[in-house]
């Protein structure tokens, strides 16, 4: 089991205030930069979770361990296998935002309240995920979506794992005063 990172994440969130600031997540990847707008109006817990994990460097060096062309790219497992997490779980925040290309959503097990650190980015419209998974952000621009789509086209092998590692080299939280 992964070490519990909850205390570190909570400490990193002490200055997060959605009423005063807007937050974006920037992932520098081995295939380009992905800038993500967050949706705290519909999923504040998920937004805080990814902000906290990013601030503590959790995603730095993490692989995109699952790529399914036309569906999703998935990352956030510290083991790179799709089986790990931050040692804690967060509750679902299902909402009416559709899962379309570029949407950031949380991966989970069959238990709706089992999300932790694994997330996915949609490669196209996937209505079967609507109201089943928590969408909580979207690519901020076309250049970011293009990187997501490029990752979605990499060659994969067993368990939809890319044959050549695709990783997040650095995650950054961008804060803008409202």
Give average pLDDT by consecutive 10-residue segment, the chain, 178 residues: 90 98 98 98 98 98 98 97 96 98 97 97 97 98 98 97 98 98
What pLDDT, on the 0 to 100 scale, is given for residue 2? 74
Which CATH topology does 6-177 take? Cyclophilin (2.40.100)
What pLDDT, on the 0 to 100 scale, is given for residue 46? 98
For the chain, the structural domain boundaries read: 6-177
What pLDDT, on the 0 to 100 scale, is given for residue 1? 55
Q: What is the pTM of this model?
A: 0.98
Residue of 164, 152, 138, 158 whose CA lies nearest to 24: 138
Yes or no: say if 122 and 149 are a contact pair by the CB < 8 Å rule.
no
- Measured CA to CA, the distance from residue 66 to residue 157 in angstroms comes to 10
What pLDDT, on the 0 to 100 scale, is given for residue 118? 98
3-state SS assignment for residue 68:
strand
């Amino acid at each position: 089991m992964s070490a519990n990172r909850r205390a570190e994440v909570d400490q990193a969130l002490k200055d997060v205030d959605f009423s005063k600031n807007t937050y974006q997540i920037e992932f520098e990847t081995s295939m380009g930069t992905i800038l993500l707008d967050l949706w705290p109006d519909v999923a504040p817990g998920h937004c805080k979770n990814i902000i906290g994990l990013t601030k503590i460097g959790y995603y730095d060096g993490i692989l995109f361990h699952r790529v399914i062309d036309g569906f999703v790219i998935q990352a956030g497992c510290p083991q790179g296998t799709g089986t790990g997490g931050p040692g804690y779980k967060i509750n679902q925040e299902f909402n009416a935002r559709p899962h379309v290309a570029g949407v950031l959503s949380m991966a989970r097990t069959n238990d709706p309240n089992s999300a932790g650190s694994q997330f996915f980015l949609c490669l196209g419209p996937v209505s079967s995920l609507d109201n089943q998974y928590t969408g909580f952000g979207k690519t901020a621009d076309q250049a970011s979506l293009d990187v997501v789509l490029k990752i979605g086209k990499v060659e994969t092998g067993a368990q939809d794992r890319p044959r050549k590692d695709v990783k997040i080299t650095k995650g950054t939280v961008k804060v803008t005063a409202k």
